[in-house]
Amino acid sequence: MVRDRLIKSFLILLFVLITLGTDLLDHFSIYGYMGFSQKQVITTQKLENSEHEAIHFLLGVISGYLFDTWVAALVAGGVKEIYDFGYNYHKNSISGSQIIHDGIIDPLFWVLGGFVGMYLLVPLRGLIRKVKRGYRPPVAVRVRGAFHRNPDNPLVSVVIPALDEEGFIERTLTSLLNQDFKGFEIIVVDNNSSDRTAEIARQFGARVVFEPRQGVGYSRQSGFMAARAPVVATTDADTILPPNWVSRILKEFKSDPELVAFGGLYYLYNGPFLSRLAVRYLIAVPWAFDRVFSGGWSLPGANLAVRRDAFFRVGGFNTKLKLGEDADLSQRLKHVGKVKLDMGFRVWTSGRRYRWGLLFAMFEYFPNALARIFLGNPERFSRLSKVREEGYSSVGYWLSWIALCLLLFAVMVPLRSPRVEAFTRPIKERAISIREAISTKERDLLYKIRTKKTSGCFKNAYEFKSREA
């Protein structure tokens, strides 16, 4: 499969290089439909468009690489060409031939670039990941027949809330089996799942607690109430933990008696490249922002541990929250002890909530955080969409973008018809005359102000008023 992608990418690159480096397109009949008849006109237009097409191709490569799909390049190219159309139409410098070129040739190079970015650079990125050590998440491979036995007196309880997570929880439980410290218990909270989540958890030796009220606040609260260890840690059912996760948590609490909560951040082990890159290198920025304006660290639920007695002192989780229950608990725990966040202590979690892109994920998480920080109301915008499968945004999502681009293009093309131009010409002329009149009045006013300053009128008027007083 990789070889086929490389061959396709090579053929596309060859076509683009031949097209941009020769006069191949000069012989296409498309230029005849574009209104070019003389060889000199065709050559001039070709030289000018070649630079634009090369840029569009490179931008298409970047779009296809960042979003792992050629459709993203088509969408970006469509939006850009529609913007160019509107700008040129406002300047009244667009022709019928340019509409055809911008609507056919330029999007073609965007799409070709998207194919190259998706077929060539994405596999190359995977190869770089294999070579670069420490980038990939720990391999969660279960030894056949491996089974965790919860001790009678555990030192740490690990709580995992789960709702229809049969496709993810096995990796999480396997990473717990691979821990270098074994004196902990595993508690999986079945939040009224309709799949095999509870069955899989029992196969790994986890103690399953059933919580019929759906919501991550209810689920974590039930798990913490059932925990028996003095330190209770929690993670998500789609998270892969490093082998020293439990031992590091236990070490932090033993070394600092004042510590009531400890946690770290996370990486994304899948999802769009731009989202993974932002989370890997920029995730500290929103957490630092929260720290400054909240007065304490907010710990993420995927990588969080608390002392059991401190948890009961603050009343546990706010069960009304379906989003941000971890940050709310952290802010209340700071009043009873020390809350510590180690940004270098990270787990690997699924990027399925970023499947629509980084911007959509920000729109889902940030309003709740801002309401908690500035309004003191963590229950505002406390809703989280239900995503139970990995992968990128659906075909329908990208098709909706394509339909929007085609709709805008279909609306704009008839604007160059003689009837539409005859209707809009008086409006344009009136707008231009108003703009020129405003500019003329502004120039006259500035001229009068400069004239009065240089002639000393303001000074004489001031002296005259002073004598009257």
For residue 229, tell me if it sits in a domain.
yes
Residue recorded with tokens 């939040």: 191
For residue 25, tell me if it sits in a domain.
yes
For residue 337, tell me if it sits in a domain.
yes
Q: State in Å, rounded, how far the first CA of the chain is from the last one.
A: 94
Per-residue pLDDT tens over the stretch 405-414:
566 555 555 5
pLDDT, position 343: 93
Alpha carbon 326 to its chain's center = 21
How do strand 156-162 and strand 231-234 relate by DSSP bridges? parallel
Do 270 and 213 share a domain, yes or no? yes
Do 203 and 297 share a domain, yes or no? yes
Q: Which of 128, 6, 106, 11 is nearest to 60 (CA)?
A: 106
pLDDT, position 275: 81
Do 40 and 120 share a domain, yes or no? yes
For residue 396, tell me if it sits in a domain.
no
Could you give the 3-state DSSP secondary structure of residue 180? coil
Q: Is 408 exposed, middle or buried (0-12, 13-18, 19+ CB in 10 A)?
A: middle
Q: What is the pLDDT along the chain (469 residues), one digit of tens a residue?
A: 556 656 666 666 666 655 554 444 444 444 444 444 444 444 444 445 556 677 777 777 777 777 666 677 777 777 777 777 666 655 555 555 566 566 667 777 777 777 777 766 656 655 555 544 444 555 555 555 578 899 999 999 999 999 999 989 999 999 999 999 999 999 999 999 999 999 999 999 999 999 999 899 999 999 999 999 999 999 999 999 999 999 999 999 999 999 999 999 999 988 777 788 889 888 989 999 999 999 999 999 999 999 999 999 999 999 989 899 999 999 999 999 999 999 999 999 998 888 776 777 788 888 889 899 888 888 888 777 777 666 555 455 555 556 655 665 555 555 555 555 565 667 667 777 777 777 776 677 766 666 665 555 444 544 444 444 4
Q: Which of 375, 403, 436 is the last residue before a domain boundary? A: 375
For residue 408, tell me if it sits in a domain.
no
For residue 387, tell me if it sits in a domain.
no
Q: Which of 295, 273, 250, 271 is nearest to 156 (CA)?
A: 250
35: left (phi over 0), alpha (psi -120 to 50) or beta: left
pTM attached to this predicted model: 0.65
Q: Other C-beta atoms within 10 Å of 295: how many?
A: 10
- Specify whether the CB–CB gap between 159 and 129 falls below 8 A: no
How big is the chain by its Cα radius of gyration, in Å? 31
Report the CATH number that the domain containing residue 187 is assigned in CATH: 3.90.550.10
Alpha carbon 139 to its chain's center = 25
Per-residue pLDDT tens over the stretch 430-444:
777 777 777 776 677
For residue 102, tell me if it sits in a domain.
yes
205: left (phi over 0), alpha (psi -120 to 50) or beta: left
Q: State how many domains the chain has.
A: 3
Residue 331, CA distances (Å) to 218, 339, 365 in order: 18, 9, 17
Do 220 and 346 share a domain, yes or no? yes
Do 197 and 329 share a domain, yes or no? yes
pLDDT, position 440: 74
For residue 261, tell me if it sits in a domain.
yes
Across the beta sheet with 184-190, the strand order is: 207-210, 184-190, 156-162, 231-234, 304-307, 259-268, 338-349, 239-240
Segments forming the whole domain that contains residue 53: 2-131
Do 13 and 95 share a domain, yes or no? yes
pLDDT, position 3: 61
Contacts of 424 (CB under 8 A, 6+ apart): 415
Do 278 and 329 share a domain, yes or no? yes
Distance (Å, whole) CA 397 – CA 400:
5
How do strand 304-307 and strand 259-268 relate by DSSP bridges? antiparallel
